[in-house]
Structure 1
Amino acid sequence: MIRFIHTADWQLGKPFGRMPDDVRTVLQEARLDVIDAISKLAADKGADDVLVAGDVFDAPEPGERVVRQALARMQRAQCRWWLLPGNHDYARAEGLWARLSRDAPANVRVLAEALPVTLSERAVILPAPLLYRRTPDDPTAVFESMTTPAGVHRIGLAHGPIQSFSSTAAMNLILADRAQRSGLDYLALGDWHGFTQIGERTAYSGTPEADDFDRPVTGGAVLVEIAAPGAVPALSHHPLGRFTWRNEAWPIDGVSGLEAKLRRLRAEADLSRLVLRLKVSGIVSLADRVTMRERLESELGLETRWLDLDLQDLFAKPTADDLGDIDAHGVLRVAAERLLAMAKGSGPEAQLAGAALERLFVENLRAARTVEADA
């Protein structure tokens, strides 16, 4: 029996450029912290080795602090780490991987060459490091010429897709039946960020810490157990990530509908660990739209780790009561009626008029609240 942890796509140093500084810092630290979580998983499961199938770092030069932090965390672990260059951190000559080979602690092994490496007396790793970000060739084709002693486990380690989702020529494309073609007991892959098993002997571990709205992400690592050479591997996926990323679309017809959506979300998720992209759509009164925006920005926006809020398709249809709240007989009421007439049109001018009317409503509401507070 051999037992090890399969992980990939840490992408340490990922910039998270769209996020505010405080959120960016937390998400970057979470990616470093997951090294400790993987170490604990290995200890709990009795696995001496962790195989990282590429994209350990987010770039070929991730910055010295990120590298030092990662090595320090790996050094204090009781397991061995086997690191493979991927397409984000490909092995440039005299670059990151050359420095890692020189500076890494004894329990960290760099697999920057396509040569068999002894994992134990019972197993050999066949690595397929990427030397370039994109290559038209199958990086695992080299496995067919790699010889290993009889009676040992052959473990492939590679980074790349088995299927292209682009109309352009596929890069780093790996044959889906590579494990069978090259006599592998198991092929540990990186590149896809969600845990995906391809047949009996191939799997993507997924990233251990979620990082994207637009693709399946599972936030964990895989325990691989193989009873004997040639036996079918037993795989179990273990969640590790701190944060959950969700992409939600809420069609809503009023404040009561928003309340129902918020109750459901709070029941389903730990909001403090939620990174949420939310698109709200519908046609509501102007007063309801203002109330809903305030609720989402001042409540949900502060309860979640980060809220990416899109209200472009939440349209306000002002009512007589809405206009009645704006300076019933004064110049502001006249302006509001003109804006309303313009907003009923189409095109960019209508959108601007609608936004201006909402702004007028909000400022009028704030002024009224100030008067009440001073009374």
Structure 2
Amino acid sequence: MRLLHTSDWHLGRSFHREDLLGAQGRFVDHLVETVRSPPDGRRVDAVLISGDVYDRALPAVDAVRLCNEALERLAELTRVVLIAGNHDSVQRLGFGSSLMDAGGVHIRTDPARVGEPVVIGDTAIYGIPYLEPEIVRNTWTLDERSHSAVLSEAVRRVRADQVERPGTRSVVMAHAFVTGGTGGEPETSDSERDISVGGASSVPAGLFEGIDYVALGHLHGRQRITDRVRYSGSPLAYSFSEEHHVKGSWLVDLHDGGLDAAFVESPVPRRVARVSGRIDELLSHPRFEPYEECWLQVTLTDPRRPSAAMERLRRRFPHALVLAFEPDGGTGDGGRTWSERIRERSELDIAGDFVTEMSDAPAAGPERELLHEAFEGCRRKEALA
């Protein structure tokens, strides 16, 4: 059984107001060509898309059109299994899924169906969409409100179905934050939406013990949590923190001896990079030549903010998109960028900082509870959109 594992397309997303739809279209072309002509000529039995197909619950028309084109082209060549991510609307993405099953495109957005696999040859593929704890725990009458609790229940349902399929390989697709594997703790990036408000966000890799392959989505960098549990990452860079990522898909062969996995790199429309220094050095030094055609985040370290800085920088770096100013030795925050300073903090903590800044006092218990309810309400509304 050969699988092509991809995820986190985020169709319709822009990059600091740069339109990425054309680049996303070229990725679709690449994916289709990989299925049509795999590196060693062996057929791809299924393409697995592990969530966040779209960048938002109500995607733009052009993004929907590109998704439709991608699924049509892939379905002409192989089977496709797709799950909803935390950016997707389960109702919109799942529309017509029963009809699409007959055409070889299997869309799984309903938590009630996690124990109903797509069976291809001798392999049962279980699609577990993103599970919002506050919503799913009520439906499943769970005591605990956490991602670990709801995903544990989903995997329990998978295992209950497995018992009825002796001799069948098992593949699980999930959109979650999985930790604790032999590959070390997973690396996050700035472009991933925080999912911690709905309870503890991480899920232990050991939950999937005994599954032949786990195709994960949510994190945007390719990662091997264990040999059998992997993230494919996003096909394009969606933040400057991904400047060193290698983007693409996992080509996975399941066999009696275990599995073999090779990474198939996707095309890079334009490299993303970060540079820092004083403006005169940035504009004149030869060592910055490799960055002249990159999408660029520039941090100026001049003692005083230079005038017309972005206009001057774009004469050499026409694709400079973001400008920050951190004078040498003067910020008191270790020289970290704003995104680096908030990376490990929840949305609730960041909102609490805003209250503190505006009122000169930390958010009290009732205020913090109100913020918590507001975030939960937004999350439930988006999940049900």
Q: Same fold (TM over 0.5)?
A: yes
| 2:78 alignment counterpart | 79
| 2:27 alignment counterpart | 34
Deviations 1:114-171 (A, max 9, x none): 1332332210012211354876233432223332312221001000102498886655
| Counterparts of 1:65 and 1:224, CA distance in 2 | 31
The structural deviation recorded for 1:254 is 4.2
| Counterparts of 1:310 and 1:88, CA distance in 2 | 28
The structural deviation recorded for 1:308 is 2.1
| Counterparts of 1:97 and 1:309, CA distance in 2 | 40
Q: Does 1:185 align with 2:205?
A: no
Count of matched residue positions in the alignment of Structure 1 and Structure 2? 290
Identity %: 22
1:156/1:172 Cα in 2 relative to 1: closer, same or farther (>3 Å)?
A: farther
Q: Does 1:11 align with 2:2?
A: no
| 1:151 alignment counterpart | 167
Letter of the 1:63 counterpart: A
Assess if the C-alpha contact under 8 Å between 2:221 and 2:233 holds in 1.
yes
| 2:129 alignment counterpart | 129
Q: Which runs of 5+ in 1 are unaligned?
A: 316-375
Q: Considering only aligned residues, what root-mean-square deviation do their CA atoms show, in Å?
A: 3.3
1:13/1:133 Cα in 2 relative to 1: closer, same or farther (>3 Å)?
A: farther
Of 260, 265, 269 in structure 2, the residue corresponding to residue 243 of structure 1 is 269
| Counterparts of 2:260 and 2:173, CA distance in 1 | 17
The structural deviation recorded for 1:250 is 2.2
1:243/1:10 Cα in 2 relative to 1: closer, same or farther (>3 Å)?
A: same
TM-score (norm 2): 0.65
- Which of the pair has more CA radius of gyration? 1
| 1:355 alignment counterpart | none
1:33/1:170 Cα in 2 relative to 1: closer, same or farther (>3 Å)?
A: farther
Deviations 1:314-369 (A, max 9, x none): 89xxxxxxxxxxxxxxxxxxxxxxxxxxxxxxxxxxxxxxxxxxxxxxxxxxxxxx
1:35/1:290 Cα in 2 relative to 1: closer, same or farther (>3 Å)?
A: same
The structural deviation recorded for 1:5 is 0.4
| 1:109 alignment counterpart | 106
Assess if the C-alpha contact under 8 Å between 1:8 and 1:205 holds in 2.
yes
Q: Does 1:59 align with 2:69?
A: no
1:133/1:218 Cα in 2 relative to 1: closer, same or farther (>3 Å)?
A: farther
Segment drifting more, 77-86 vs 136-145: 136-145
Letter of the 2:239 counterpart: D
The structural deviation recorded for 1:280 is 2.6
Of 140, 161, 164 in structure 1, the residue corresponding to residue 177 of structure 2 is 161
Assess if the C-alpha contact under 8 Å between 1:193 and 1:206 holds in 2.
yes
1:209/1:117 Cα in 2 relative to 1: closer, same or farther (>3 Å)?
A: same
Assess if the C-alpha contact under 8 Å between 1:114 and 1:128 holds in 2.
yes
TM-score (norm 1): 0.67
Deviations 1:211-232 (A, max 9, x none): 111356432111111222xx43
Deviations 1:162-217 (A, max 9, x none): 2498886655532211221xx20011100000000011210000001221113564
1:74/1:168 Cα in 2 relative to 1: closer, same or farther (>3 Å)?
A: closer
Question: Per chain length, whose mean CA-contact separation is higher, i.e. which structure has more relative contact order (CA < 8 Å, sep 6+)?
Answer: 2
Deviations 1:269-308 (A, max 9, x none): xx2xx32111132359x9xx6798665222312xx3x532
SS in 2 for 1:282: coil
Assess if the C-alpha contact under 8 Å between 2:235 and 2:247 holds in 1.
yes
1:275/1:80 Cα in 2 relative to 1: closer, same or farther (>3 Å)?
A: farther
| 2:204 alignment counterpart | 175
Q: How does 1:353-368 map to 2 (within 5 A)?
A: none
Letter of the 1:173 counterpart: S
Letter of the 1:236 counterpart: A
| Counterparts of 1:90 and 1:143, CA distance in 2 | 22
| 2:251 alignment counterpart | 223
Letter of the 1:44 counterpart: S
| 2:298 alignment counterpart | 278
Q: How does 1:289-368 map to 2 (within 5 A)?
A: 296-301=313-318, 304=319, 306-310=320-324, 313=327
Assess if the C-alpha contact under 8 Å between 2:130 and 2:176 holds in 1.
no
1:256/1:71 Cα in 2 relative to 1: closer, same or farther (>3 Å)?
A: closer
| Counterparts of 2:46 and 2:27, CA distance in 1 | 16
1:104/1:114 Cα in 2 relative to 1: closer, same or farther (>3 Å)?
A: closer
| 2:95 alignment counterpart | 98
| 1:352 alignment counterpart | none
Q: Which runs of 5+ in 2 are unaligned?
A: 137-145, 180-185, 189-193, 330-385
| Counterparts of 1:83 and 1:96, CA distance in 2 | 10
The structural deviation recorded for 1:80 is 2.1
| Counterparts of 2:206 and 2:248, CA distance in 1 | 24
SS in 1 for 2:241: coil
